[in-house]
Amino acid sequence: MEFNNTSWNLYKSFVVVYEVRNLHRAAEKLGISRSAIRQNIRELGNQLGVTLFIPHQKGVMPTGDATTIYPNVKKAVDLIIAAENSVDTFTADSTGTIKIAMSNTLIIMFMAEYMAQFGAKFPKVVFEFFSLESLPRLEKGEIDLILDDDIFFQGSDLCTIHLFSAASLMVASKSFLQRHNLGATLTADDFARLPVIVLGPSSYDVGHTNPYIKTVSVDMTYYMVKAGLGIGHFAKEMLDSIADPNIVAVNIIGVSTPEHFNVVCGYNKTLSKPARAFVEGLQKFCKKRYGA
């Protein structure tokens, strides 16, 4: 059989259907219609003289013939994709738009250094920013990425890439601690009896049941803590950056607040070249900067 662009599409469709075992999901991943991918599988099977898949529950099951040819076809498809990527590089003169959702100023603080580096390297790339409530738009392919802490979407056609884990702290003003006759180490009972607790938006899992918890933005957390209204949840880098001698870290026995920073993108669509360059660079940056 002569190999041409049509053959390439048939074999690429075969590999994706084999791996996801579902025509609808395979079509979404390739960005084509379900009828088109069904036709590709049927045509490839006719050319090879075999049946490749049979219906199974909510998807399809590969036949013995499909299982036999899959390893070699997979290698060939991967080699062609690698070759395409090697010549389809993203350069400093490239243009494009990256549509990205960030959750709050805490994440932007972590990302500022990398954003500056990326902007200097690719000055013609434009960023559009969206709120974290943009998840439906991500699933529809209308935005490229979501950056957030402590997010792991389950059962959705999304890919979560873990970037790094950061040190996280509970902080309070010295005046607040003095007013409540507390030191820098609090027991769980101390923590539970405080009249007002101010937590950043990523702190839902600290195990506190006080009905007076106020969930606010990171900036508002800082100002409320500074005013002596309660205990706040900061990343260590934020505490270092504000350099306010009146705000100190407190240790709450039995309460831990880990931070996990992730990028979430849809695997049901192909990332644009600028977005792909952004993600690949971000992973390298986080590995170097945070040891991720």
Question: In this predicted model, what pLDDT tens digit does every residue of 101-137 receive, in sequence order?
Answer: 876 655 666 777 888 889 888 899 998 888 767 777 8
105-115 residue pLDDT tens = 556 667 778 88
18-45 residue pLDDT tens = 999 999 888 888 878 888 899 999 999 9
CA 275 from centre of chain: 12
The pLDDT of residue 77 is above 50: yes
The pLDDT of residue 269 is above 60: no
Nearest CA to 200 out of 134, 103, 133, 101 is that of 103
Contact 186, 253 (CB under 8 A): yes
Domain 96-164+260-290, what fold? D-Maltodextrin-Binding Protein; domain 2 (3.40.190)
In CATH terms, the superfamily for domain 168-259 is Periplasmic binding protein-like II (3.40.190.10)
Q: Which residues contact 87 (CB under 8 A, 6 or more apart)?
A: none
Could you give the CA distance from residue 119 to residue 137 in angstroms, rounded to a whole number? 24
Task: Delimit the domains of the chain by residue range.
Answer: 5-87, 96-164+260-290, 168-259
Could you give the CA distance from residue 8 to residue 13 in angstroms, rounded to a whole number? 8
What's the token pair of residue 239?
């505490």
5-87 matches 168-259 in fold: no
- The CATH architecture of the domain made up of 5-87 is Orthogonal Bundle (1.10)
194-204 residue pLDDT tens = 776 666 544 44
- Report the mean per-residue pLDDT for the chain: 77
Structural Rg of the chain based on CA atoms: 25
59 against 111, higher pLDDT: 59
Could you give the CA distance from residue 102 to residue 263 in angstroms, rounded to a whole number? 10
Strands of 159-166's sheet, edge to edge? Answer: 125-130, 96-102, 145-149, 259-265, 159-166
Burial class (CB in 10 A: 0-12, 13-18, 19+), 155: exposed
Nearest CA to 217 out of 131, 114, 140 is that of 131
Q: Which residues contact 220 (CB under 8 A, 6 or more apart)?
A: none
Average pLDDT in the 7-28 region? 89
Could you give the CA distance from residue 29 to residue 17 in angstroms, rounded to a whole number? 10
